[in-house]
Structure 1
């Protein structure tokens, strides 16, 4: 059995390390696909994307490319304000339909359901996870918790067993250890085909700043050092023994660090990577001096 580790980033639009000066937005995904073999689509969290856009993204990437598609916020309890859809069934149907072009292209790896920090371990939420899995039947789904109660004490093994039973792909996370609204590193697979790893950084002070004017810009402000990534190399080797494929997504891009850290990890794992472009801006040579006639 060939075991694969794929490494990629959350989104491709703001990964400036990858693009030459003045690269157009429409060209960035195709260029991204020259560096990495997977990406997490984050825009689907904010709005269910049109089928034609999903089809275009699939067409712009190499044949072996794989997408992790983040579930729409109304499906994970994040939505605030008036719902766009008239019913839960309509919402799920729209999301499933939007995934079809990527699935038909063989590039849809998993839908990622990231539940919020207030989604704790209780009977009501466990039943909700069962319902979500039924609504997403036939589509591989990864799950990420943000509340520590799912992994505390005896609940850890019960949570992992439940995920196996329900067919959820476990998201193993690296994130700040900042109380109940964060989870520990739990390097355990729940699906023999795939495990997802998400690298959020370790910015403890910025983790619980929701509502602050610039919290989105600071929450994932962190650059991993080589020692920290060496530690994660060990975790990835553990996960390789449990799942056929391991997908690693770097989400620490508040300061533009994700691409550089992904490259460092690939170097540690002996995964070849194309050199990033030279970011030096070449100034244009001045033209011939104009005669001052007036």
Structure 2
């Protein structure tokens, strides 16, 4: 069976910081990450979705975590086709006279290439310290299944290499009928990991929880089942607590999936207050996934 790592989709979300999950002594970004790393072996970086981090920032993440800890890094939203505030770009790369929000095709080729270079510079300290798991490409819910979309996925993934790439698709057309098998085959043939999601069903952005590994690294993200998925704000959208029986059933399925891959990353994204780390801890216990040993946490 492959190695299973469990964590959450952020350690710095403001709702989590305000929830009281962190002790008062963990009152700095490094302190909170260190506290988190004492409890989980894995975390998803979501701040990189909103802006490309500086290498100094990722070097700080390495310093705050022990050997054996893993970061899955979500790619900058501009790369995956999302509308991006110009203010999210480095000041010196903001195009003059641009609208308040841009997409990748709105930028000069040189600017777009430079953003990718800076993303790789941010990943380098994590990779050098053996802390980098995968780059997560979360494509927008309007990216329907077309040949042009497949080309876009491959081009974005190419720019992420040599790092492992896992892809989350959020339009139902990728999984309707026979398309599901074709989508999984497409990802596997191109060395791209499939991101399975557990999420509310019945929406255009809904995808079924297909548990399959297309590469040696499989990723499962848990969004919860809020009834306000498409109507609520961020807190309402992810307000969901997994029940004991729900987690028990998932633990069985995740063990089966771990038989198909070398490593399985399980990420709780029901990021409302401190629900994600609480559910992650319960699921880790069911999967017999322990925190890093005390000696490793101490850096010895």
Indicate the TM-score class for this superposition, using the shorter chain for normalisation. 0.7 to 0.9
Matches within 5 A, 1:170-185: 170-185=194-209
Pairing 1:20–2:23 present:
yes
Match of 1:119 among 136, 139, 143: 143
Structure 1 equivalent of residue 103 of structure 2:
none
Q: Distance in 2 between matches of 1:165 and 1:115?
A: 19
- Alpha-carbon displacement from aligned partner over 1:201-235 (angstroms, at most 9, x marks no partner): 011x22112xx6xx112110000001111221122
**What is the deviation of 1:3?**
2.1
- Cα gap change, 1:244/1:150 in structure 2, threshold over 3 Å: closer, same or farther? same
2:229 alignment partner, one of 198, 207, 212: 207
Query: Aligned to 1:35, what secondary structure does the other structure show?
Result: coil
Q: Could you tell which deviates more after superposition, 176-185 or 31-40?
A: 176-185
| Pairs within 5 Å for 1:132-147 | 132-147=156-171
Contact in 2 for aligned 1:222/1:255 (Cα 8 Å): no
Q: Retained in 2: the 8 A contact 1:173–1:200?
A: yes
- Asked whether the 8 Å contact 2:235–2:272 carries over to 1, the reply is yes
| Structure 1 segments unaligned to the other structure (5+ residues) | 275-294
Q: CA contact under 8 A between 2:5 and 2:289: conserved in structure 1?
A: no
Equivalent residue in structure 2 for 1:155, among 166, 176, 179: 179
Q: Does 1:74 align with 2:78?
A: yes
Q: TM-score, normalised by structure 1?
A: 0.86
Whole-Å separation in 1 of the counterparts to 2:26 and 2:120: 32
Preserved contact between residue 17 and residue 260 of structure 1 (Cα < 8 Å): no
SS in 1 for 2:78: helix
Name the structure 2 match of 1:43.
Answer: 47
- What secondary structure is seen at the aligned counterpart in 1 of 2:5? strand
SS for the counterpart of 2:204 is helix
Structure 1 distance, partners of 2:68, 2:25, is 28
C-alpha distance in 1 between matches for 2:210 and 2:148: 23
Match of 2:256 in 1: 238
In structure 1, what is the Cα distance between the partners aligned to 2:171 and 2:20? Answer: 33
Q: 2:245 aligns with which of 197, 206, 227?
A: 227
Cα offset for 1:18? 4.1
Question: Counterparts of 1:25 and 1:182 in 2: how far apart (Å)?
Answer: 37
Secondary structure of the 1:198 match is strand
Number of equivalent positions: 267
Residues 41-84 of structure 1, C-alpha deviation per residue, up to 9 Å, x if partnerless? 11001100000110110111010000001100101111244483
Q: Which residue of 2 aligns with 1:198?
A: 221
Greater RCO (CA < 8 Å, at least 6 residues apart) = 2
- Determine which structure has more spread, i.e. the larger CA radius of gyration: 1
Counterpart Cα distance in 2 of 1:179 and 1:56: 39
The answer to whether residue 44 in structure 2 is matched with residue 34 in structure 1 is no
Distance 1:265 1:197 in 2: 13
User: For residues 242 and 203 of structure 2, what CA distance do their matches in structure 1 show?
Assistant: 21
TM-score between the two structures when normalised by the length of structure 2: 0.84
Q: CA deviation at 1:184?
A: 0.6
